[in-house]
């Protein structure tokens, strides 16, 4: 396994910083005077700039510098955070992402435009009134007359390995004023126990400067979260100490404001603590977390899958053996494999919050584009799903949120007329039920206009004029390809590509989609998604000499077909099932097995939502824990199968793509109806 490219590592870190920045900006939009948020955004900008420069992303570093400067003014109390500034930096943040992804691209025009916006936002941001000492941290940020500071700091042992040079911090402090630096060697271990790459020295610096405490803290901005730092104004300083309390920054939390110590006694917090002290549970959690590239998790999942297959083979061999020892080992192996599989599944689980957070920005942009006030709320963010599923849900949810904003929510005047609050509501919620997670997008808009759906469907030939159709079936029509009720095409939706794409995407996840809507009250789209795609519960069947797996959640029932029924149904595409005609597909014919049918055929009724199709097979073997293997590129056009799995005897079973088979069944039904 090769070591990851440092540039790739930077890209991952940059993505996280950009995410933090975006969330911070979106929060700041609602709490413009929240200094913690300003600091958080500033730190993300500062770190991105520094890391970018370190890894050769010079354009990114140069561009980010402008935003950092703007936020620095805000945090120093020289300017106010305004909606214009937040909006400009949000757009700049998107450009930073482009600079991370494509540093050599032609970004000049975009950059010029964004910097002009930033400049305008900064120029328009009024300076804050001069703060009094009682104003707290903001006042403390204003430079005062020279103060003598006693700064003690120690850095984590991995500082040097991480490429940070502590001497550069000392140089920066020296550049601020008169400085006396004393190294503390007390933590140096004996030579034979010393790790030559670790950092053991700590420092005490006496600095006389007119720079503020915040300026001193800035020196350590990159390492602030992991270090121990105390900054105290010296009581015997010849000049007036800078107003404000002493600050302690340590590994166990953000800036903590402590009461100014009495002149002759240092504050208890002033005692430097080793950076590797893991007494604090939050720090211990941090130390115990390991960042693992996603592809390595996938590799591990593949290995577990292989192990499950080998275990299955062992189980088969043991079943035919009289060797009790072998049987015992096989049973033990089965138990361990099962536990390992569960552990592996848990490793791949990530909270839905990582998905929901993305839509805050989308809704922010939608407000601007639609001119509608929208409030996004979320629920059940701690619900966990397989990371692959979450990634594949991102785009369908974008469509749904856009649809809710563009089609669902009414303009402000219409809402006022309907007695609704001015701001429309879009709610994203998640909850787990058994092996599935239900993700819902709910809006409080106008609801789906049934009459318009019917008109469009009739015009598109989806239903015959005047046909009686159940309400749920009518609503389902919006998932048909090319269907849209939007009277005008916008850049958000209304091109008729969207809901059918959503449906296909959800079905490709072996999920289903439900829609409820009340006129004048709003709509809810619910996505029912399996927790994982790596290993599924399947129904193993035989068709001819081949084995196939049908995803179990899609299976409704299994029926034995007598020889008489089989004969009666030849030349037809329907079977009567409890007075309902169910279209069916003879898989033996579809797969051209050239084998004779078994005397007693079985029909497995599968469904996606309200659509049913019977799949005629020769034998139902039973439940099978199915480790999903992707089809090769050569076979990606084969629509009847969504993947493959390896059985206990080493043979391959193809996994049926139920959604596509149902479409095929429906087409077959339509053709036969047309002929009739």
Partner 1 sequence: MENSTIVRMQGNLCVSDIRSSYSSLVDAIEGFPSTLLAIPTDAEVDVSFLQIIEAARLRAAEQGKSLSLLEPASGELRRALDRSGLMTAATAVDRSFWLHEETVQ
By CB under 8 A, name the binding residues for partner 1: 160-161, 165-167, 170-171, 180-183, 185, 188-192, 194, 196-197, 199-201, 203, 205
DSSP 434: T
Which CB sits closer to partner 1, 42 or 153? Answer: 153
Nearer to partner 1, 199 or 385 (CB): 199
Distance between CA 495 and CA 490 in Å, rounded? 8
Q: Kindly tell me which of 186 and 594 has the beta carbon lying closer to partner 1.
A: 186
Considering the complex, state which of residue 7 and residue 182 has its C-beta at the smaller distance from partner 1. Answer: 182
CA 368 to CA 90: how far, in whole Å?
13
- Nearest distance in Å: CB 218, partner 1: 20
Alpha helices, H only, 381-449:
387-403, 412-417
Residue number with CB closer to partner 1 (229 or 613): 229
Interatomic CA distance for residues 270 and 229, integer angstroms: 8
Give the span between the Cα atoms of 509 and 529, in whole angstroms: 7
Nearest distance in Å: CB 148, partner 1: 16
* Least gap, CB of 156 to partner 1 (angstroms): 13
Nearer to partner 1, 112 or 180 (CB): 180
How far, CA to CA in Å, does 99 sit from each of 20, 67, 88, 118, 566?
Answer: 17, 14, 16, 17, 64
DSSP conformation class of 519: T
Nearest approach in angstroms of CB 184 to partner 1 is 9
Shortest distance (Å) from residue 163 CB to partner 1: 9
Compute the least distance from the CB of residue 224 to partner 1, in Å.
19
CB 6, min distance to partner 1, A: 13
Contact 606, 661 (CB under 8 A): yes
Which residue number, 32 or 198, has a Cβ lying nearer to partner 1? Answer: 198
Q: In a 10 Å sphere around its CB, with 0-12 CB exposed, 13-18 middle and 19+ buried, how is residue 476 labelled?
A: buried
Q: Which residues have C-beta within 8 Å of that of residue 455, sequence separation ≥ 6?
A: none
Cβ at position 207, least distance to partner 1 in Å: 12
Query: What would the DSSP string read from start to end of 179-236?
Result: EEEEEE-TTPPPGGG--TTS---EEEEEEEESS-HHHHHHHTGGGGGGSEEEEEE-TT
Helices (H) and strands (E) in the chain — how many of each?
Answer: 21, 23
- Of 183 and 329, CB closest to partner 1: 183
Place of tokens 């062992």: 314
Instruction: Compare residues 196 and 325 and give the one whose CB is closer to partner 1.
Output: 196
CB of 178 to partner 1, least distance (A): 13
Quick one: which of 596, 569, 567, 564 has its CA closest to 585? 569
CB closer to partner 1 out of 165 and 639: 165
* C-alpha–C-alpha distance, residues 111 and 118, integer Å: 10
Greatest pairwise CA separation for the chain in angstroms? 107
DSSP label of 33: T
Minimum distance of partner 1 from residue 269's CB (angstroms): 22
Q: Which is nearer to partner 1, 192 or 288 (CB)?
A: 192
> What are the Cα distances from residue 543, in Å, to 83, 572, 594, 605, 663?
64, 20, 10, 15, 20
Q: How big, in percent rounded to 5, are the helix, strand and coil portions of the chain?
A: 45, 25, 30
Nearest approach in angstroms of CB 158 to partner 1 is 10
Shorter beta-carbon distance to partner 1: residue 161 or 489: 161
CA–CA distance from 329 to each of 185, 325, 333, 336, 346 (Å)?
56, 6, 6, 10, 26
| CA–CA dist 137, 296 (Å, integer) | 45
Residue 249: CB minimum distance to partner 1, A: 20
């Amino acid at each position: 396994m090769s070591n990851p490219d440092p540039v790739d590592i930077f890209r991952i870190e940059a993505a996280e910083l950009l995410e933090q920045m975006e969330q911070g900006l979106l929060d700041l939009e609602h709490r413009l005077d929240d200094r913690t948020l300003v600091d958080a955004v500033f730190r993300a900008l500062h770190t991105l700039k520094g890391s970018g420069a370190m890894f050769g992303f010079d354009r990114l570093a140069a561009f980010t510098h402008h935003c950092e400067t703007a936020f620095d003014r805000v945090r120093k109390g020289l300017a106010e955070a305004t909606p214009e500034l937040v909006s400009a930096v949000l757009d700049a943040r998107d450009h930073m992402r482009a600079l991370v992804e494509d540093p050599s691209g032609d970004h000049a025009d975009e950059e010029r435009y964004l910097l002009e916006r930033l400049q305008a936002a900064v120029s328009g941001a009024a300076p804050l009134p001069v703060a009094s000492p009682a104003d707290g941290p903001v006042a403390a940020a204003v430079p005062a007359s020279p103060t003598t500071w006693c700064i003690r700091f120690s850095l984590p042992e991995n500082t040097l390995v991480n490429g940070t040079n502590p001497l550069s911090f000392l140089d920066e402090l020296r550049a601020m004023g008169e400085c006396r630096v004393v190294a503390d060697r007390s933590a140096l271990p004996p030579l034979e126990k010393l790790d030559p790459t670790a950092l053991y020295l700590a420092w005490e610096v006496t600095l006389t400067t007119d720079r503020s405490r915040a300026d001193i803290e800035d020196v350590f901005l990159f390492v602030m979260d992991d270090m121990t730092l105390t900054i105290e104004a010296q009581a015997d300083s010849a000049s007036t100490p800078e107003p404000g309390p002493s600050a302690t920054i340590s590994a166990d939390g953000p800036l903590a404001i402590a009461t100014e110590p009495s002149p002759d006694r240092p504050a208890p917090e002033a005692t430097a603590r080793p950076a590797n002290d893991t007494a604090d549970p939050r720090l211990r959690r941090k130390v115990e977390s390991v960042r693992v590239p996603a592809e390595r998790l996938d590799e591990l999942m593949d290995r577990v899958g292989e192990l499950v297959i080998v275990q299955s083979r062992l189980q088969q061999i043991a079943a035919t053996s009289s060797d009790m020892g072998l049987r015992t080992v096989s049973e033990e192996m089965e138990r361990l494999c099962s536990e390992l599989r569960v552990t592996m599944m848990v490793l791949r689980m990530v909270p839905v919050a990582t998905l929901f957070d993305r839509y805050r920005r989308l809704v922010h942009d939608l407000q601007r584009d639609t001119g509608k006030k929208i409030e996004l709320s979320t629920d059940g963010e701690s619900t966990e799903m397989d990371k692959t599923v979450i990634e594949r849900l991102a785009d369908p949810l974008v469509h749904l949120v856009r649809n809710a904003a563009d089609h669902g929510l009414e303009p402000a005047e219409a809402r006022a007329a309907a007695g609704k609050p001015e701001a429309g509501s879009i709610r994203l919620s998640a909850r787990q039920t058994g092996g599935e997670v239900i993700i819902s997008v709910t809006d409080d808009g106008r609801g789906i206009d049934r009459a318009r759906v019917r008109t469009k469907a009739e015009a598109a030939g989806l239903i015959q004029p005047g046909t009686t159709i159940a309400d749920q079936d009518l609503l389902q029509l919006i998932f048909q390809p090319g269907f849209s009720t939007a009277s005008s095409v916008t850049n958000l939706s209304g091109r008729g590509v969207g809901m059918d794409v959503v449906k296909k995407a959800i079905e490709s996840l072996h999920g289903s989609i439900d829609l409820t809507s009340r006129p004048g009250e709003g709509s809810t789209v619910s996505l029912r998604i399996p927790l994982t795609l790596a290993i599924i519960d399947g129904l193993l069947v035989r068709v001819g000499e081949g084995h196939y797996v049908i995803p179990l959640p899609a299976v409704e029932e299994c029926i034995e077909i007598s020889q008489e029924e089989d004969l009666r149904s030849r030349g037809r595409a329907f079977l009567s099932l409890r007075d309902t005609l169910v279209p069916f597909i003879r898989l033996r014919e579809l797969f051209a097995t050239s084998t004779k049918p078994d005397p007693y055929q079985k029909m497995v009724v599968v469904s996606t939502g309200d659509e049913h199709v019977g799949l005629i097979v020769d034998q139902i073997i039973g439940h099978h824990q199915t480790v999903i293997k992707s089809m090769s590129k050569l076979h990606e056009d084969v629509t009847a199968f969504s993947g493959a799995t390896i059985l206990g005897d080493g043979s391959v079973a193809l996994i049926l793509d139920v959604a596509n088979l149902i479409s095929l069944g429906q087409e077959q039904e339509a053709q036969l109806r047309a002929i009739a």
